[in-house]
Amino acid sequence: MTSRFKRPVTPVRILLASAWPALSLAVTACVSGGAIDVRVPTVASSNVSVSVHDERGSLDPKRAAAVVRKLDASGEAGLLALHLREVESAISEPLTLGNDARLLIDGPQTQAAMLRAVAEAHHSVELETYILEPAGMGDRLAALLAAKRADGVTVRVLYDSIGSLSTPSAYFERLRAAGIEVCEFNPVSPSRLQSDSRLSINNRDHRKLLIVDNQVAFTGGINISGVYSSSSFGRKSKTDVRESGWRDTQVYVRGPVAGQFRALFDTNWHSQHCGDEFGIPRTASESDAPRAGSMAVRLVAADPLAQRSELYVALLSAVELARHRVWLTYGYFAPDERLLRALRGAAQRGVDVRLMLPGFSDFWAPLYAGRAHYSALLDAGIRLFERRDALLHAKTVVIDGVWSSVGSTNLDWRSLVHNYEADLLVLDARFAKEMEALFMLDESAAQEVLNSEWRQRGIGSRLLEWLARRWEYFL
C-alpha cells in the first residue's frame, strides 16, 4: 500500500538549514512535551456555589443550584453539575441564562449575519479582530461602519498589529476619517507603542469579536479577510482551496451574555490606552440585553499576562468528566501533555473521542506538530479525520450532547500561552445537537487517518513531525 503521508511539503535539507536557529532555541529551552502553565483547579468541592445570572442579575444560591440541577438533567452524561463546580474558581464570568446562540458556518453565512447586525445598530458597534484587511468583507464593512457613524452610532475598532501587518495604512485612515475610533493592539513599531509594557511581541490579540448595541455578539475563528469569500462545502473546484473558501465556524448570540462580550472588549481597549478612559456611556436600551432565549452560556477568555486560559481549564474538566462523546474540530492542534492524557484517558474508558483536523495548512509547522501526536492518539483508540478539500480553521468542541464551545482558541501553545482569545461555552442540548450534525458533515467530507496506514508514512514526514514538535512552543 502506498501511504498518503510520505511526501514532505518542502525538501528536508533546505528545511533543516532554514529552521536550525529556531530549532536550537527550542531544544535549549526544553519547551516540548511540557504542560501549559495556567491555573487549573485540582479538587472539586460539593460545597462550591456556581454563580448564575439572568437578565435581572445574580441568582441567589438556592435558585442557582436549582438551575445547575436542571442543566445537569438535560445532558446524557450528568457531567455538568460536577464540571461547573470544578471550574467555578477559574472562570471570571458567571453562567448566564436567557440567551439564544446560532451557529454560522464558513465566511459567506457569517459575513451576511455580521453585516446585517451592524446595519441594524442604533447606538454602538465594537469590532475586535486579529486580521482586518480590505479584501472582500473588509471594504463592505468599512463602508457600512462609516454610514452608521454618520447616523450617530459610536464605532470602535481594535485590530492586531501583526495579524493586520499587510493592511495598507490608507484603510485605517479611511475609517478614522469617517469618525470611527481605531486602535492598534500591541504595535510592532516602537513609535506607536502605547500598550501595557509587560507585553512582548509574541503576545497577540487573536480574538474575533463583534458587539452591536450591547445586545448581540459574535465570536469564532473568522477574521475580516478575503479567504472567506466562498463556502467550504459543495465546491465545484478544489484548485483554490488555499486562497478562499476556508472551513470555519462562528457563533451569533443574543441576550444578557452580550454584556460579557462588551466588558471584555472594553478591558482590551483600555489596556492599549485607546481612549475613553471610563468607557462610552450606554443608553438605557443598551444597559442590559433582554432575555432572548433559553440557553445557558458563558464567555471565557485567555489573558497571557494573567497566565489564564479559561477555555483550557473548562475543556480539560469537560473531557476528564465525559462519559459518551468528545468531538473536537481544530485548525491548529499541538496540545500539552496534560490535555493529551485527558483525551487518551477518555478514549480508554470507552468515550467516543474524535478529532477533526486539517489535511493541509497555511503554515507547515503547526500541521506537523499536530501529526507528531497521531500515533499515540490512534493507539489509544481515538479516531482522527483530516479535511483535505478545504483549509480547516474552525475551533469547536461538543461533548456528551450538552457541552459546546465555539471561539478563537486553538489547541496549541500559541493560543493557550501567548494570545488573547475568546470563546463562547454553550450548555444546551439543542445547540449541541447542531454541533454534532456539523461535525458529521465535516466527517462526510474528510478522510479518516487509519493506524495501519499512518505507520507506513515516509521518513520525510517523520522528520518534519520531529522538527515541528521541538518548535511547537513558538508556533
Q: Is 31 within a domain? A: yes
Bridge partners of 209, per DSSP, are 128
Can you give the pLDDT at residue 19?
41
Asked whether residue 283 carries a pLDDT value surpassing 50, the answer given is: no
Task: Let me know whether 35 and 108 are in one domain.
Answer: no
Alpha carbon distance 386, 448 (integer Å): 6
Considering only residues 463 and 15, tell me which one the structure prediction assigns the higher pLDDT: 463
Q: Is 364 left (phi over 0), alpha (psi -120 to 50) or beta?
A: alpha
pLDDT, tens digit (0-9, with 9 covering 90-100), for 263-273: 999 999 999 99
Q: Does residue 210 sit within a domain? A: yes
Residue 248 sits in the same domain as residue 305: no
pLDDT band at residue 303 using 50, 70 and 90 as cut-offs: very high
pLDDT of 433 reads 97
For the stretch 398-437, pLDDT in tens is: 999 999 999 999 999 999 999 999 999 999 999 999 999 9
pLDDT 10s digits, 111-148: 999 999 999 999 999 999 999 999 989 999 999 999 99
User: Are residues 221 and 114 part of one domain?
Assistant: yes
* Residue 67 within any structural domain of the chain: no
Domain-terminating residue out of 227, 260, 295: 295
Whether residue 132 sits in one domain with residue 34: no
Whether the predicted pLDDT of 194 surpasses 60: no
Say what angle helices 459-470 and 364-371 make with each other, to 10 degrees. 100
Beta strands in 281-420 (DSSP E): 295-303, 308-309, 325-330, 352-358, 383-387, 395-399, 403-407
Phi, then psi, of 178 in degrees rounded to 5: -85, 0
- What does the buried/exposed string (b/e) look like for 295-316 if buried means 16 or more CB atoms within 10 Å of the residue's CB? bbbbbbbbbbeeebbbbbbbbb
In Å, how far are 39, 266, 409, 470 from 336, measured between CA atoms? 14, 31, 14, 13
Task: Say how many domains are in the chain.
Answer: 2
Report the C-alpha gap between 52 and 81 in whole angstroms. Answer: 13
Element containing residue 425 per DSSP (H, E)? strand 421-427
**In the predicted model, what is the mean pLDDT of residues 349-365?**
93
The larger pLDDT score, comparing residue 34 to residue 272, is at 272
- Residue 195 vs residue 257, higher pLDDT: 257
Is residue 200 domain-shared with residue 308, that is, in the same domain? Answer: no
Q: Is residue 420 part of a domain?
A: yes
Give residue-wise pLDDT tens across range 361-393: 888 888 999 999 999 999 999 999 999 999 999
Domain that holds residue 243: 98-295
Q: Are residues 139 and 286 in the same domain?
A: yes
Taken in order 101, 106, 111, 116, the sign of the CA dihedral is: negative
Question: Residue 174: what residue type?
Answer: R
pLDDT, residue 212, reads: 98
What pTM does this model have? 0.90
Asked whether residue 409 falls in the same domain as residue 325, the answer is: yes
Residue 53, in any domain of the structure: no
Rounded mean pLDDT of 295-314? 96
Question: Does 79 fall in a domain?
Answer: no
Please indicate, yes or no, whether residues 260 and 304 belong to a single structural domain of this protein. no
Q: Are residues 102 and 161 in the same domain?
A: yes
Q: What's the CATH code of the domain at 382?
A: 3.30.870.10
Residue 249 lies in a domain: yes
Averaged pLDDT of the chain:
87
Do 229 and 257 reside in the same domain of the chain?
yes
Same domain, 317 and 226: no
- Grid cell locating 16: 533543516
230, 245, 367 from 234: Cα distances, Å = 10, 10, 24
Which residues are catalytically annotated?
206, 208, 213, 393, 395, 400
302 in Cβ contact with 418 (< 8 Å): no
Average pLDDT (11-32) is: 37
Count of CA atoms in the C-beta half-sphere (13 A) of 333: 29
User: Of 295, 317, 344, which residue constitutes the final position of a domain?
Assistant: 295
223 pLDDT above the threshold of 90 = yes
Percent of the chain with pLDDT over 70: 83
- Same domain, yes or no, for 264 and 136? yes
Q: Which of 238, 268, 295 is where one domain is finished?
A: 295
Residue bearing the bigger pLDDT, 461 or 41: 461
Mind listing the pLDDT tens digit for each residue in 233-249? 865 555 455 667 899 99
Please indicate, yes or no, if residue 217 is contained in any of the structural domains. Answer: yes
Over 90: is that where the pLDDT of 13 sits? no
